[in-house]
Amino acid sequence: MKIYVDADACPVKEQVIGTARTFSTPVILVKSYAHYSHAPEEDGVETVYVDTGADSADYRIMQLARSGDIIVTQDYGLASLGLAKGCTVLHHRGFAYTQDNISRLLAERHLSAKARKAGQKTKGPKPLSDDDKETFRALLFHTLQQADS
C-alpha cells in the first residue's frame, strides 16, 4: 500500500508524512513543476512532478494508484475516480470519501459552479484549523491501522 497526495495545495502534507512514517508506508507527493523544490526528500517520501496543466496531477495519481492504496485530495473528481479504482480516498478536513457521499459532493460542486457562472457569489471553504489537521491525522492513523491488521 502507498499513499498518494494531490500535493500542490495540500495543507496536511506534514501530517501525512509523519503518520505514514509510523506505519512504514511510502508517500508519493504528486505536484506540478510550478511547485518544484530543491529540498532533499525525506525517507519514505517520493515526489513526482507533472506538467502545470489542469488536472495533470490527478491523471498521474490515477495512473500510479492501485486498488488498496490511499489517496489524499480535496478534488471531488479525483476522489470519485479513486473510489472507482478501489482506493481509500481521504479529504484533508478529516473525512473519507465513500460511495454514499461522493454523488452528493459532486452535485453540490456542480450547483455551486452553476451559481458562480450565473453571477452569484458563493462561500469558499473556511480556513483549515489545527483541530481540522488533527482530525485528518487521526483518520489517516485509523485508516493505516485498519489496513495493517
**146 pLDDT higher than 90:** yes
In the predicted model, is pLDDT for residue 26 greater than 80?
Answer: yes
Tell me the CATH number at 58. Answer: 3.40.50
Average pLDDT for residues 7-35, to the nearest whole number?
A: 94
117-131 tens-digit pLDDT: 787 776 767 789 999
Residue-range definition of the domain harbouring residue 27: 3-148
Mean pLDDT of 95-114: 76
Least confident of 16-20, 37-41, 106-110: 106-110
45-50 and 27-32 strand pairing: parallel
pLDDT of residue 129: 92
Q: Which residues of 23-60 are buried (b: 16+ CB within 10 A; e: fewer)?
A: bebebbbbbbeeeeeeeeeeeebebebbeeeeebbbbb
In this prediction, residues 11-24 reach a mean pLDDT of 97
Q: Which pLDDT tens digit goes with each residue over 32-59?
A: 988 888 888 889 999 999 998 778 999 9
Q: What percent of the chain has pLDDT over 90?
A: 64
Give the angle subtended at the CA of 86 by the CAs of 83 and 89, to the nearest 5°: 45
pLDDT in tens, 72-84: 999 888 999 999 9
pLDDT of residue 110 exceeding 90, the answer is no
CB 37, CB 47: distance < 8 Å: yes
pTM for the structure as a whole: 0.86
**89 vs 122: which has the higher pLDDT:** 89
Give how many domains the chain has, as a whole number.
Answer: 1
Long-range CB contacts (within 8 A, 24+) of 88-94: 88/143, 88/147, 90/136, 90/139, 90/140, 90/143, 91/136, 92/10, 92/11, 92/12, 92/128, 92/132, 92/133, 92/136, 93/128, 93/132, 93/135, 93/136, 94/132, 94/135, 94/136, 94/138, 94/139
